A and B are shown apart, each in its own frame.
Chain A
Amino acid sequence: MPEAGKVVSMHDAVADLVRDGDTVAIEGFTHLICFAAGHEIIRQRKRDLTLCRLTPDVIYDQMIGAGVARKLVFSWLGNPGVGSLHAIRRRVERADPEPLEIEEYSHFGMVCRYVAGASRLPFFPIRSYYESDLPKANPRIVPIRSPYGDETVYAVPPLNPDVAIVHAQRADASGDAQIWGLLGCQKEAAFAADRVIVVCEDLVDESAIRADPNRTVIPGLIVDAVVVQPKACHPSYAQGYYDRDNRFYLDWDAIARDAQLLDAWLKEWVFDLQTHADYVQKLGAERWGALVPGEAWSEPVNYGRYE
């Protein structure tokens, strides 16, 4: 077994590293969204968070519905493939039960905010936003003239979260994390953040990481805590481990439309459970079995020995 290193429980990672008022990014574009971390933040009743994600997804609808956030930073606000995020919409459209501040970009703008943050640059220039109303809605998107010619580009400001939470298929006890499938902008978000929590399906020995270093997306150097939490991304997915539970995404539409149903869901699936293992058990083996994909292995590559 690998050494304990930075390995802690989800409870302790969130209790130690996520503080009221923090700017928090749980990243993962459709893939590897760490719902278990979001649920633990709800369970510990964190408050006044600024939540950042390209796609808030059902996880932020749950968190915002539970009242942990005062502000949302995003680029696409929807339930992917299904429709709307109704808990967030209630707060934006009707300030129900309280207002939610928003700061809105495009996908490329959000990605480049993390790149600027990770690189400790004062801004990042992109070719977007021309003639769009987005810079009027968000004055932090600013046109700037190229220092080398006549061209105008738009600048977006760096985004440096207090905490980034990313999920990986496998990591070692130091937090060296390997991801395959969609990579989103987890690397950029993690390097931009002050504190990083890596959650993984499998804890592996450092030698397994060293045997395939091209697959390492986040180095343990920047990681503060490692949580071993299999199936932590349900109802999103982990490539090669489990599929998206689309039924949940469809069901969420009706739950989130009704504040009382949402509260009842949070009680049953978050507050009345101690850990994510309880959640997985409550889902049941039958539902889980339907999510396990067939196998499609890659060919091994030869890194060579240079001794």
Chain B
Amino acid sequence: MAEYTAGEMMIVASARQLAGERVCFVGVGPPNIACNLAKRTIAPHLELVYESGVFGSAPARLPLSIGDPTLVTGSLQVTNMFDLFAFYLQAGLIDVGFLAASQIDRYGNINTTVIGDYARPKVRLPGSGGACEMAINCKKVFVIMPQSKRSFVEHIDFTTSPGHLSGTRPAGWGAGPTVVVTELGVYGFDGRTGEMELASLHAGVTLDEARDNTGWSLRVADDLSETPPPTEVELRLIREELDPEGAYTR
């Protein structure tokens, strides 16, 4: 079997979750590689949407930001940000939105605003960007993030983007977070309780490692499995086309 990095495993596991999806709101960094990998493998009809105002993007290089000019050239539509957020996102045309998180709790509520107190933060993080309205209006939300006791926490310091609140979401919202992918495993959410649940461990990762890097008592799915490792094709696409410099995968 080919050697691969934890970063490559995260990208591949995220990309496979996009099987059968049509319209995806892409974030920069790992989500961007995952979405472009999915489009080249299991989701050829995936339309990539960027909050900068691009629908049906076909980037010829790895975009350096969500506003990279390569997203524009050859896309289906470039529109102003009002149309993108109002007519695409708020109107419910987005199937999956990718979010990053500095902190997440067991219900998938996300903090990207501050560590510590809002008025006198220990660390000032970027804030919402489009994440708050994505968390509410996308049909589903996928989260890609590094996992540790500092990021998987019992109580987040600030709710930037609502997940399953304390267990359920109001009618009229999208389904919220359905998948969280970390360097240790893939997590889903229990449909009744809204609580995060370990679905699969990446090869070589133990259940104790996942538990030791979670700040609450972790639930584990009855049918816990091992994440299938990256295939030769997936690794070749990542290394030769999507992230040749290894910016996000090494």
Contact = CB atoms under 8 A, between A and B. Distances in A.
Contacts of B179: none
Contacts of B170: 130
A30 B52 contact: yes
A111 B82 contact: yes
B124 A80 contact: no
Contacts, number: 153
B203 interface: no
20 contacts: A55-B129, A77-B124, A80-B28, A93-B120, A93-B121, A106-B131, A107-B51, A108-B86, A115-B82, A126-B90, A128-B133, A128-B136, A131-B162, A182-B53, A184-B80, A185-B82, A187-B80, A239-B72, A243-B69, A244-B65
B29 A132 contact: no
B64 interface: yes
Contact of A182 (B52, B74, B90): B52
A114 to B, nearest CB: 8
Contact of A188 (B80, B129, B161, B173): B80
A76 B127 contact: yes
B51 to A, nearest CB: 6
Nearest to B118: A137
Given A29-B53, A130-B170, A132-B132, A80 B85 contact: no
Contacts of A115: 82
Interface of B: 28-29, 51-54, 64-69, 72-74, 78-82, 85-86, 89-90, 113, 118, 120-133, 136-137, 158-162, 165, 170, 172-173
Contacts of B133: 106-108, 126-128
Main secondary structure of the interface of B (DSSP, over half): loop
Interface in A56-99: 74-78, 80-81, 84, 88-89, 92-93
A283 interface: no
Contacts of A107: 51, 81, 85, 128-130, 133
B69 A244 contact: yes
Most buried by A among B53, B89, B123, B129: B129
A293 B69 contact: yes
Main secondary structure of the interface of A (DSSP, over half): loop
A39 B165 CA distance: 44
A129 B160 CA distance: 8
Contacts of A78: 126
A296 B75 CA distance: 12
A53 interface: no
Nearest to B135: A132
Contacts of A106: 127-133
B165 to A, nearest CB: 6
Contacts of A183: 53, 78-81
A293 B67 CA distance: 16
Interface residues on A, range: 35 or more
Contact of B161 (A105, A132, A243, A293): A132
Contacts of A181: 69, 72, 78
Contacts of B132: 106, 128-129, 132, 134
A126 B81 CA distance: 14
A40 interface: no
A130 B78 contact: no
A76 B68 contact: no
A21 to B, nearest CB: 24
A244 B127 contact: no
Contact of B66 (A74, A80, A89, A111): A80
A105 B161 CA distance: 12
A93 B67 CA distance: 28
Given A106-B133, A127-B133, A133-B158, 17 more contacts: A29-B53, A29-B67, A29-B81, A31-B52, A54-B129, A76-B130, A80-B67, A89-B124, A104-B127, A107-B128, A108-B86, A132-B132, A134-B132, A182-B72, A183-B78, A183-B81, A246-B64
A54 B82 CA distance: 12
A112 interface: yes
Interface in A287-305: 293, 296
A243 B129 CA distance: 23
Contacts of A123: none
A237 interface: yes
A54 B162 CA distance: 21
Contacts of B89: 108
Given A93-B121, A93-B122, A244-B65, A182 B128 contact: no
A75 B127 contact: yes
A87 B65 CA distance: 21
